[in-house]
Amino acid sequence: MAVTIKDVAKIANVAPSTVSRVIANSPRISERTKEKVREAMKELGYHPNFNARSLANKSTKTLGLIMPNSATKTFQNPFFPEVIRGISTKAHQLEYGLYLSTGQSDDEIFEEVQDMVQGKRVDGIILLYSKVNDKVMNYLYNEKFPFSVIGRPYDVEMKEITYVNNDNFKAAKTVTEYLLLLGHERIAFIGGNLETVVTLDHMEGYKKALTNAGIEPKKEYVVFHEELQEGGQEAVIDLMSLSERPTALIVADDIMTFGVMRMLSEMEVRVPDDISIISFNNVMISELSSPPMTTVDINIFSLGYEAANCLIEKILNPETKPKHVIIPHKMIKRQTCQRIVKRLTKQ
């Protein structure tokens, strides 16, 4: 049997409650007894039992992380390790642990979240994705359970939710404007999952920039694909089959861009000579594409770090008003965008 608080108490010649107070570093305990108790703890190699503590405390000091359902390969995006690294860093500073969801389907995940919440397994929850009409988010909201979202809630009345996001609308708009300035007019947009809020925001920004420039967004120039790698490749096929090929591509995700570039090179379409590309995220490997891709750095680490920060704040002080943190983004110009060269364009 493991060593308990009682064992320590006996050795140190004090009451169990005193030991408990020493653990909590209560100021009402004399330095002398603290010393005595700490010695006893060290001597016995005492470590507090988490479950007992949580039970008595009603606090687990752990955060639940909810991933998108891992049945899809979404999870393989290097985006996730990086957000988690951000979350982990903050959590670790404040001595919180991390508990991971394992559900494969939306229903399973919902079940899991319920268990976590009602079973008091975690003190708060971070949603690592944000999609429209999310059952989990609604549940958490109704239960008034502390949580924060990476991305943003889609439904307007939900402004009472704490979230950490980029200004994805603006980012997409800027990026489109940039291509416009480079002389491109036939700009296509390759988006991810249409149920994802970020995709929607990107698309809005893209369209806004076009209409501002007096260009009517064309339906054929907007395609969506769920799967990251194959998606990028299929999108290219769709787009390159058009009679009027786009001269520039805005791609929702760097990994997708790898697929896009792969397929393009197979078709012997040169980047950026024949077509310009710009994408989002700036994950670690982005700079390693050939040529290195121009992309928008969304500061993934900070997204995670802040999400953890806001959440813990809310846990510690339930009165905290909902916060909306916008992490700044930054265009990273590398080598996949080029001023358009006018040549045998039919018209």
Task: Candidates 9-17, 129-137, 148-156, 227-235: pick the segment binding a copy of itself (CB under 8 A).
Answer: 227-235
Residue 285's binding partner among DNA, a copy of itself, none (Cβ under 5 to 8 angstroms by kind) is a copy of itself
Binders of DNA among 9-68, rule CB under 7 A?
Answer: 13-21, 23-24, 26, 28-30, 32-33, 46, 48-49, 52-53, 55-57
190 binds DNA (CB under 7 A): no
Taking CB under 8 A as the rule, does residue 285 contact a copy of itself?
yes
Which segments of the chain does DSSP mark as H helices, in order?
5-12, 16-23, 31-44, 50-57, 79-93, 106-118, 135-143, 168-181, 197-212, 228-240, 254-266, 300-316
Least distance in Å: CB of 312 to DNA? Answer: 18
Using rule CB under 8 A, residue 333 touches a copy of itself: no
DSSP state of 104: S
What is the Cα–Cα distance from 265 to 42, expressed in whole angstroms?
A: 63
The CA distance from 215 to 209, in Å, is 9
Q: DSSP 3-state assignment of 136?
A: helix
Closer residue to DNA (CB): 28 or 342? 28
C-alpha span between 138 and 144 (Å, rounded): 10
Cβ 65 vs Cβ 75: under 8 Å: no
Cα distances (angstroms) measured from residue 300 to each of 256, 338, 344: 17, 27, 42
CA dist., res. 150 & res. 164, Å (int)? 5
The nearer residue to DNA, 31 or 268, going by C-beta atoms, is 31
Q: Is 45 in the site for a copy of itself (CB under 8 A)?
A: yes
Size of interface with DNA, in residues (CB under 7 A): 30
Give CA 77 to chain center in angstroms.
Answer: 11
Q: Does 115 bind a copy of itself (CB under 8 A)?
A: yes
Residues 311 and 98: their CA atoms lie apart, in Å, by 13
Amino acid, single-letter form, for residue 311: L
Which of the listed partners (DNA, a copy of itself, none) does 18 bind, with a CB threshold of 5 to 8 Å by partner kind?
A: DNA
Distances 253 to 59, 88, 162, 339, 347 between C-alpha atoms, Å: 38, 23, 24, 22, 33
The answer to whether the bond into 217 is cis (omega within 30° of 0) is no
Residue 92 C-beta: closest distance to DNA, Å = 20
Quick one: which of 12, 83, 84, 164 contacts a copy of itself (CB under 8 A)? 84
Other CB atoms within 10 Å distance of the CB of residue 155: 13
By the rule CB under 7 A, 6 interacts with DNA: yes
Q: Which stretch binds a copy of itself (CB under 8 A): 5-13, 45-53, 149-157, 160-168?
A: 45-53
Is the Cβ of residue 209 or residue 236 nearer to a copy of itself in the bound state? 236
The nearer residue to DNA, 9 or 256, going by C-beta atoms, is 9
Minimum CB–partner distance for residue 166 and a copy of itself (Å): 19
Of 5, 83, 91, 307, which one interacts with DNA (CB under 7 A)?
A: 5
> Among DNA, a copy of itself, none, what binds residue 183 when CB lies within 5 to 8 Å by partner kind?
none
Q: Which helix (H) or strand (E) holds 127?
A: strand 124-127
Residue 103 contacts which entry, DNA, a copy of itself, none (Cβ below 5-8 A, type-dependent): a copy of itself
Least spacing, CB of residue 214 vs a copy of itself, in Å: 36
The residues with which 8 forms a beta bridge, in sequence order, are none
Binding site for DNA (CB under 7 A): 1-2, 4-6, 13-21, 23-24, 26, 28-30, 32-33, 46, 48-49, 52-53, 55-57
